[in-house]
Amino acid sequence: MPVYNCLELIKSGLPHVHLWQDLADEIIVVDSFSSDGSFEYIVENLQHPGLCVIQRPRGLYESWNEGIAATKGRHVYISTAGDTITREQMLHLLTSLEEGAADAIVSRPVFISDSQEHRWIEGWRTARLLAAMPLDSVRMLSKEESCAYSFLDCPGSLLGSLASDLFRGDFLRARPFPTEYGRFGDTAWIMRHCADCRLAVTSRVGSTFLHHSSETPLAPEGHFRFHRRLMLGERHSLRSATELGALRRLLRTYVILKIRCRLLWLAKKNRRAERSSLISFVRTFRTYTAYLTIRIAQQMTAARIRWRLR
């Protein structure tokens, strides 16, 4: 449970933690020297025999990593301030993770704005995937699907809100979150480990995610820069995915044709800026065929998913 100057969120969220805290063998609180009373409030109001409190300098994913490293349990759940999960959903995630022998299980939260307005974020790829699944169903993603969705969501994360997910303890402790990507550490994490992470998804909804209005969305230029940085930094994971490696070789010619067609279309429409960006991106990303191949792989896996759900 990472904490930093979020007293009001802690006050509103702690009652929800009390509903499922008996399921936990230990609760690790990582505080970054809060000055608004958050730390003192938690110490006074969170009673648990396995409570451990750590204080360390600021840093979101650094705090997560230190807290995760301190855990010893079979499963790890990351409880973030302002986000909630029901006891029933926690039990569902625990059962599904064990039955599927998965390393992580992802669920879709209800998104809540600062004004407590409930809404869905349908642009999130996982939301679209789960919307096509039967109610309360669980399925394992293939390695091909995990890799394709992880990279296609970039810089968004296939994991969505981590406060709606559950991880196998040994797997997560051995793979700390990257800290060099700012607020996109969870995106980089699943991109880095998509080839060896047995990922399950469940369509059951039982958690909330608080969307802060103070968060500044990325401008298109910033979005593109982070997209390229993440793709370049984490592309090595695709090389270890044998399915995508074989697919890349089979579709190399088709991928190059797709690039040429896109460039011709942009030239015809006189969209020079987009054409220049695409050319620059292709030149910079030497293994661009891997990137574009997973777009084709996504179409194939989406068709496969639809066929399986018939």
Range of lowest pLDDT (71-75, 96-100, 112-116, 234-238): 112-116
Residue 213, pLDDT above cutoff 80: no
Over residues 97-115, the pLDDT tens digits come to 999 999 999 998 888 876 5
Residue 28: the pLDDT is: 95
Q: How far apart are CA 191 and CA 232, in angstroms?
A: 11
pTM of the predicted model as reported, rounded to 2 decimal places: 0.76
Residue 287: the pLDDT is: 45
pLDDT band at 231 (very low <50, low <70, confident <90, very high): confident
Over residues 158-211, the pLDDT tens digits come to 888 899 999 999 999 999 999 998 888 999 999 899 888 999 999 898 999 887
Percent with pLDDT over 70 in the chain: 66
